[in-house]
Structure formats: structure tokens, C-alpha cells
């Protein structure tokens, strides 16, 4: 019995190590690090557009912790990537036909799309609010690029976006 337990433990460890070796670690000034951890890009439907957040140092988010409206979503080639979809207002669809991705974004729920892109390129991203009306800001591209090119784009984009504080809360005053 003990021998089988050891065999099973060694076999599971080998499977885990083999799975990690195929992943690429995405590191920007110490970002990422562990090759088994996926690179999670958060995409939020908000005001008929996609607000995108990329991970920063120590689990924080680039762009001052606030998503920025982007119609091009960049991801690194040969990396374990997770696109985390949610919404802050309406229900949206998120489709990338060339990668057979079709998911929804709904308020207060998170849906994860896992991909490990092995081919660089620019792929059509189709999004729509489920009201049926077209919204051009929801249309865009998924850009898969080599890691060095992705890191260069990420550095350039994060330095170009001004850091914003929390959004002001809108209140209404009722006159008596």
C-alpha cells in the first residue's frame, strides 16, 4: 500500500512539473514570476465599452487600479492567459471566432476564458450589449504577440495612461 502511495505521489508531481514547463512566465519588473500562474487580464463591460485591467506588481493593477477603455486587448504569445470577464452595468457578449471563444459578461459574476496562444496575430473581437443595438466601442482586436513585444507595449501603454483616483460618486440632492 505504501509503495503505491509513493508511486502515485511521484507520478502526480511529474505531471505537475511537466505542465509548468510548457507555461511562460510573464514578468514586467518582477511581475508574474511563477510559470504556473496564469496571466490574468480583467475585462469589464461598462458604458457600452470594454474596460481592461492588466496585472501590476504585487497583485496590484496597472493603470492606477482602474480599467481603461481599450479596443485592442494584447496578450503574450505562448503564455498561460486568463481573460476574466465581468460587467458593471449590463449583460454583454464577448466573441473571438478565430479562437472559438464566446462568453458573456454579467454584473456581479466573473467568467474566465483560458487560452494559451501558440500563434501570433490580430484577431477580431466582437462584443455587444445584449439589448441588440450595435455599440462600436465594443468591437476590437485581440493582439497576440511575442513576449518581448507585449512587454514593450504594456510598458508604453501603462506610462501613457494617467493614474486616476477613485471615480466620484454621483449624488442627487432632493430639495424640500
Q: How far apart are CA 139 and CA 90, in angstroms?
A: 16
Please report the pLDDT score of residue 24 as a whole number.
44
Please report the pLDDT score of residue 82 as a whole number.
95
What torsion, rounded to 10 degrees, do the Cα atoms 87, 99, 35, 74 define? -60
Categorize the per-residue pLDDT at 155 as very low, low, confident or very high, splitting at 50, 70 and 90: confident
Please, is 150 exposed, middle or buried when counting C-beta atoms within 10 Å of its C-beta (0-12, 13-18, 19+)? buried
What residues form DSSP beta bridges with 140? 125
Q: Look at residue 131 and tell me whether its pLDDT is greater than 60.
A: yes
Categorize the per-residue pLDDT at 121 as very low, low, confident or very high, splitting at 50, 70 and 90: very high
What is the domain partition of the chain in residue ranges? 25-160
- Per DSSP, 103 falls in state E
Q: How far apart are CA 68 and CA 48, in angstroms?
A: 13
Kindly report, residue by residue over 20-45, the tens digit of the pLDDT. Answer: 433 444 544 334 556 678 999 999 99
Is 122 or 28 the better-scoring residue by pLDDT?
122
Is 15 or 78 the better-scoring residue by pLDDT?
78
Please report the pLDDT score of residue 70 as a whole number.
84
Q: Could you write out the DSSP letters of every residue in 10-57? A: HHHHHHHHHHHHTS----SSS----TTS-EEEEEEEETTEEEEE-B-G
Kindly report, residue by residue over 46-84, the tens digit of the pLDDT. Answer: 988 999 998 876 666 776 666 788 889 999 999 999 999
Give the CATH number of domain 25-160: 2.60.40.420
Amino acid at each position: 500500500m505504501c509503495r503505491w502511495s509513493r508511486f502515485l505521489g511521484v507520478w502526480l508531481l511529474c505531471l505537475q512539473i511537466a505542465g509548468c514547463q510548457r507555461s511562460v512566465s510573464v514578468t514586467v519588473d518582477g511581475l508574474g514570476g511563477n510559470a504556473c500562474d496564469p496571466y490574468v487580464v480583467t475585462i469589464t463591460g461598462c458604458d457600452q465599452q470594454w474596460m481592461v485591467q492588466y496585472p501590476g506588481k504585487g497583485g496590484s493593477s496597472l493603470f492606477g487600479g482602474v480599467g481603461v477603455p481599450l479596443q485592442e486587448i494584447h496578450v503574450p504569445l505562448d503564455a498561460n492567459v486568463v481573460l476574466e470577464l465581468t460587467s458593471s452595468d449590463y449583460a454583454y457578449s464577448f466573441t473571438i471566432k478565430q479562437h472559438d471563444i464566446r462568453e458573456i459578461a454579467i454584473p456581479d459574476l466573473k467568467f474566465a476564458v483560458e487560452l494559451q496562444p501558440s500563434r501570433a496575430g490580430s484577431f477580431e473581437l466582437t462584443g455587444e450589449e445584449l439589448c441588440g443595438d450595435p455599440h462600436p466601442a465594443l468591437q476590437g482586436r485581440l493582439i497576440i504577440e511575442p513576449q518581448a513585444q507585449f512587454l514593450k507595449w504594456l510598458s508604453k501603454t501603462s506610462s501613457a495612461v494617467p493614474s486616476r483616483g477613485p471615480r466620484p460618486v454621483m449624488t442627487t440632492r432632493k430639495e424640500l
